[in-house]
Structure 1
Amino acid sequence: MSADETTFPEGFTFGVATSAYQVEGGIENDWAEWERAGKLKEPHARCGRAVDHWNRYEEDYGLALEAGASAFRISLEWARIEPERGRYDGAALEAYRERLLRMKARGLRPVVTLHHFTHPTWFHRETPWHSPASVEAFRAYARVCAPLLKGLDALLITLNEPMVVLLGGYLQGLIPPGISDGPKTMLAMENMVRAHVAAREELQAVLGKVELGISQNMLCFAPDRWWHPLDQAIVRLGAQAYNHAFHEALSSGKLRVTMPGLASTNVDIPQAKGSCEFIGVNYYSRAHLRFIPRHPFIEFKFRDRVGRGLTDIGWEDYPEGFGQILREVKRYGLPVWVTENGIDDRNGQRRPHYIHSHLAEVLKARAEGVDVRGYLYWSLLDNFEWLEGWGPRFGLYHVDFETMERRATPACEYLRTVAQGGRLVPPATPAPQPSAAR
């Protein structure tokens, strides 16, 4: 490997990522209502106190530093800040401001997300995403949040994984708000683009110049039957809709989505053109798509086609797809931040190798001219994993969910070694042997 493929440039950022609902605890929002309705894979699972980050944030900042991080991604919890429409909680705002100031003082650059899946309990009833009222609701929320960010030099993310919200919540009905409606999905998508623009305007009004984007979950897609023309066609359409529709709308001002038999839209939003300063990539896996001759026409599978073994959540370990995605987003001509990348590894032995293989792809992409500025590992801590509840463990730190004790996994030392040395080195121990390929 060349020096470009083993050495990170000066100023490259290594960091960690979290989200409010998954770690803070004590939040009443639409997901808390969803849990009480028994709609998780484990019907009795509850987030509850999560992993008590709300009270242990100083300890957790220290853990991030010990793992070599110089950036820390959080989200602001809209339901804490605006528990009733138009009523803002001053104590919650002060608490977030204090946490951000302490983060900065500890030497961690704040990476702040305004919307990470969750909504106040009033949102879906009063200003749902498929209603134009959602845009002004999000604008008002951003306006209130803007003063929290003064003087922090924060990297700002308006929306986390909007396509996951739309497909899961509006097309499949698996997550809040639990709708299965193609036209409403497209209306919601358009309004989320407009909400991003509105939030950007409010943040700029208070902060001046901002470094702002979205975090988009991006999958590497492959035809389940490599030879089948319909599998190939849905891979092309799926990659465009899922991976690129939002990024392209915020780059060109043109929102174009085609999901035959499900939903489509073609709308111009001129204000969205050039409304990001960076491209945020969340990457975890590759998915194989197969055409089926009945609704919803697509079968979605994780396969272990290269024999590394599926991760504990059942996803393919496929770093090559990460490199492919990074090369694809070069088209936007913007800096790239890896805002999430991680593995559910319940004994902690695979994680160093997963990080190593994915960082290798970052360096390869940089050598090909992709301006990747930073890598944020998901997640600092084991946490509440949405529909999966408490089973998955993505954390650099293992958390005892009874005592809340944090314990370093082998990946902490590995990430620290790479971050402090600025150079990619192999993990100290050999990779565990995978189970039989599926």
Structure 2
Amino acid sequence: MNAHVRTFPDSFTFGVATSAYQVEGGIENDWAEWERAGKLKEPHVRCGRGVDHWNRYEEDYGLALDVGASAFRMSLEWARIEPERGRIDGAVLEAYRERLLKMKARGLRPVVTLHHFTHPLWFHRDTPWHLPQSVEAFRAYVRACAPILRGLDALVISLNEPMVLLLGGYLQGLMPPGIADGAKMMAALGNMVRAHVAAREELQAALGHVEIGISQNTLAFAPDRSWNPLDRALVRLGAQAYNHSFHEVLVSGKLRVNMPGIGSTKQDIPGAKDSCDFIGVNYYTRAHLRFLPRPPFLSFQFRDKHGRGLTDIGWEVWPEGFGQVLRELKRYGLPVWVTENGIDDRGGERRPAYLREHLEQVLTARAEGVDVRGYLYWSLLDNFEWLEGWGPRFGLYHVDFETLERRPTPACQFYREVATTRRLPSLVPPSSATRPNLIIQPSAAR
């Protein structure tokens, strides 16, 4: 064997990721309401039928197997399960149970997300996250879901990217519930931690042992002006608040967040200490922070400082940042799962190189003692990308949004080779035109 070929152990899991609203179709929830209000970047865009995964799930399981996946991340849609407060739709629970059993039977380990951004229509009206009633509402939902996970050996994610939801929905007002209030954001943050604790309690009561964690969007941060001490200070504060505050409270039980000009909170949360069995990390890019002398006090920018070309959504390709955030997670002493990593590559030619560069970082982190157990590529399919609508294409499989035909991209062959041989082959990245520096607003694109 070539001494330069690096390998993954047989125990390492390769998989793919999806989320219910983005792929299933036919869901009536707070995001559907947001779309009707014309609040996406293109006001006429609707998710609608998604990519019809609700009806084509068995076909899509086959596509996952075809690229060598042995795990499949999906989410349960709260709005399907509890369309009215207190009314659980048993038929929907049975349908999700059937999907999970078929997934398991085909050799795909279920990775089940309980909350992936979306809410029933009643939630923000009756039990919004900034009120304590939200915790019991989430507890009741998880209690109803627990039986469908029995016997599956599922990896469970309580909350997907809580900091994205809080910043987008409670500070910038860019996503539901559309609030811009720092104090309410801090209250919601504490309640989402409590909701994770409640979910863990309910699943353990119903199922006994269960592996449960969160998936946290992580960014590599850099000062926009390396010489500026205020930019450098923002990087330290941003990394701590955005990347680490949620992890730290689930290890220590102490929630400590300080966001100058926005708000701060110090809370000791009962049950939060050691309430996480693994850390889920979603990584895409690096952000350059610049201090501003007046509100909002910082700018958030993606720059192509190394001439690699921005992705088609406008994000920097920075695999080194992936290695950085993985190494930073070592401090928690917990297993790490990469629950999302991917590229918006609308031509389909850049994805193999992106995959190779980021998988190289996983191997390096493992060699340095980070217990990375698995890698789930975002996403199996092109799908609806939140505020960005139908423009971005993150899928291993290209989807014709008119016919819904799934077609493999060049990355499918590469991912299959890595997943089945456990070897990371050499790859010459395709040439691509360097795009100019851009300054754009952050978006919830997963």
- Residue of structure 2 in register with 1:296 after alignment: 296
- Residue of structure 1 in register with 2:441 after alignment: none
SS, match of residue 310 in structure 2: coil
Superposed CA deviations along residues 49-100 of structure 1, whole A, max 9, x for unmatched, are 0000000000000000001110000000000000000001111000000000
Taking only aligned residues, the RMSD between alpha carbons, in angstroms, comes to: 1.2
Instruction: Give 1:4 shift.
Output: 9.8
Match runs of 1:2-401 below 5 Å: 6-401=6-401
8 Å contact from structure 2 (residues 183, 263) kept in 1: yes
- The answer to whether residue 430 in structure 2 is matched with residue 435 in structure 1 is no
Kindly provide the amino acid, as one letter, of the partner of residue 117 in structure 1: F
Partners of 2:63 and 2:294 in 1: CA distance: 49
SS, match of residue 353 in structure 1: helix
Evaluate the alpha carbon distance shift between residue 4 and residue 100 of structure 1 in structure 2; reply closer, same or farther with a 3 A threshold.
Answer: farther
Equivalenced residues, count: 437
Aligned identity (percent) is: 78
Instruction: Give 1:433 shift.
Output: 2.4
Partners of 1:68 and 1:432 in 2: CA distance: 27
Kindly provide the amino acid, as one letter, of the partner of residue 21 in structure 1: Y
Partners of 1:188 and 1:103 in 2: CA distance: 34
Superposed CA deviations along residues 206-241 of structure 1, whole A, max 9, x for unmatched, are 111111100000000000000100000011000000
Partners of 1:122 and 1:67 in 2: CA distance: 39
Kindly provide the amino acid, as one letter, of the partner of residue 197 in structure 2: V
Evaluate the alpha carbon distance shift between residue 265 and residue 5 of structure 1 in structure 2; reply closer, same or farther with a 3 A threshold.
Answer: farther
Partners of 2:328 and 2:5 in 1: CA distance: 19
Kindly provide the amino acid, as one letter, of the partner of residue 276 in structure 1: C
Partners of 1:362 and 1:430 in 2: CA distance: 18
8 Å contact from structure 1 (residues 305, 437) kept in 2: no
SS, match of residue 74 in structure 2: strand
| TM-score between both structures, scaled by the size of structure 2 | 0.97
Kindly provide the amino acid, as one letter, of the partner of residue 349 in structure 2: Q
- Residue of structure 2 in register with 1:418 after alignment: 418
Partners of 2:372 and 2:4 in 1: CA distance: 13
Instruction: Give 1:294 shift.
Output: 1.0
Instruction: Give 1:3 shift.
Output: 6.5
Question: Unaligned 5+ residue runs, structure 2?
Answer: 438-446
| TM-score between both structures, scaled by the size of structure 1 | 0.98
Evaluate the alpha carbon distance shift between residue 333 and residue 3 of structure 1 in structure 2; reply closer, same or farther with a 3 A threshold.
Answer: farther
Evaluate the alpha carbon distance shift between residue 359 and residue 183 of structure 1 in structure 2; reply closer, same or farther with a 3 A threshold.
Answer: same
Evaluate the alpha carbon distance shift between residue 262 and residue 3 of structure 1 in structure 2; reply closer, same or farther with a 3 A threshold.
Answer: farther
Kindly provide the amino acid, as one letter, of the partner of residue 293 in structure 2: P
Superposed CA deviations along residues 330-389 of structure 1, whole A, max 9, x for unmatched, are 000000000000000001000000000000000000000000000000000000000000
Superposed CA deviations along residues 100-157 of structure 1, whole A, max 9, x for unmatched, are 0000001000000000000000000000000000000000000000001001000000
Question: Unaligned 5+ residue runs, structure 1?
Answer: none
Instruction: Give 1:9 shift.
Output: 1.1
8 Å contact from structure 1 (residues 215, 279) kept in 2: yes
Partners of 2:169 and 2:18 in 1: CA distance: 21
SS, match of residue 148 in structure 1: helix
Partners of 2:403 and 2:169 in 1: CA distance: 33
Partners of 1:362 and 1:195 in 2: CA distance: 30
8 Å contact from structure 2 (residues 5, 423) kept in 1: no
SS, match of residue 218 in structure 1: strand
Partners of 2:113 and 2:338 in 1: CA distance: 14
SS, match of residue 357 in structure 2: helix
SS, match of residue 271 in structure 1: coil
- Residue of structure 1 in register with 2:443 after alignment: none
Over 4 Å off, 4+ runs: 2-5
8 Å contact from structure 1 (residues 15, 376) kept in 2: yes
Instruction: Give 1:261 shift.
Output: 1.0
8 Å contact from structure 1 (residues 4, 367) kept in 2: no
